[in-house]
Amino acid sequence: MITARQYGAMMRQQGVLWPIPAIDAEDMMLPDVSIYQIGQRSISNVFVRVRKNWATVYVKPAYTSYRAAFDAVMPRTSEGQDVDHLLPRSKGAGADFLALGRISGTSNRGWNDDESYQAMAQKVRNMPTASPHSFVSRLTDMERGWAVVTCYIRPFRELNQSVLTRVEIEAS
C-alpha cells in the first residue's frame, strides 16, 4: 500500500496539480515554485505555495492559527465548512508542512485518521466515509487531480493578494 505522501509525489511526477499532502523545506525551493508570506505571519509557520499559477496553503503541523491564515487568503466559497489539514496532524508530525483545505465537516472528520492514498483521494473529493466505494478507478489521474480545485488548490488569481508578499527562499 502506498501512502498519501507517495501518492502526492506520483501525481506531481505526472504533472497533475494535486496538492502534495506533506512537503519538506526543499519543496519550497523548487524552480517552478513561488512562496508567499501571508500578512505578518512567519513563513516558518504558514505560507502559500504557488506552482503553475495554482496555490495551496501549507502550515507547520503544530501551528494553531492555521484557520485564520487560510481564511485571510483563500476565497470564502465554502462558508460553514471546515478548514483542516489534508494529511492528519497526527500522521504528519515528521513533515515540515501540511496542505490545508476547506471541506465539509462530515468528510473531514470521517477521514481524519487515515493517511492512505484512498483516504486522501476521498477527503480531496469531499466525500464522507459512508460512501468509500464511490471513489473508484473510473476517474483518471487527471480527473482526480482536478477534483481538488475547490478544496485544497485554487488559481492564484482568486486569492486575496492584498495580504500576500512574495519571498525568495535561499538554500541553506
Q: What is the pLDDT of residues 13-50, one digit of tens each?
A: 665 556 777 888 888 888 889 999 999 999 999 999 99
Per-residue confidence (pLDDT) for residue 52, from 0 to 100: 83
Query: What contacts 92, CB < 8 A, 6 or more positions away?
Result: 21, 22, 61, 85, 98
Percent of the chain past pLDDT 90, that is, above it, reads 26
Q: What average pLDDT is seen over the chain?
A: 74
For residue 61, is pLDDT > 80? Answer: yes
* Per-residue CA distances from 105 to 19, 29, 33, 36 (Å): 19, 33, 30, 28
How would residue 102 be classed by pLDDT, with cut points 50, 70 and 90?
confident
Q: What is the pLDDT of residues 65-86, one digit of tens each?
A: 999 999 999 877 656 678 887 7
How would residue 153 be classed by pLDDT, with cut points 50, 70 and 90?
confident
Q: What is the pLDDT of residues 113-132, one digit of tens each?
A: 555 656 666 666 555 555 54
> Which residue ranges make up each domain of the chain?
4-167
- The H-or-E segment that residue 103 falls in is strand 97-103
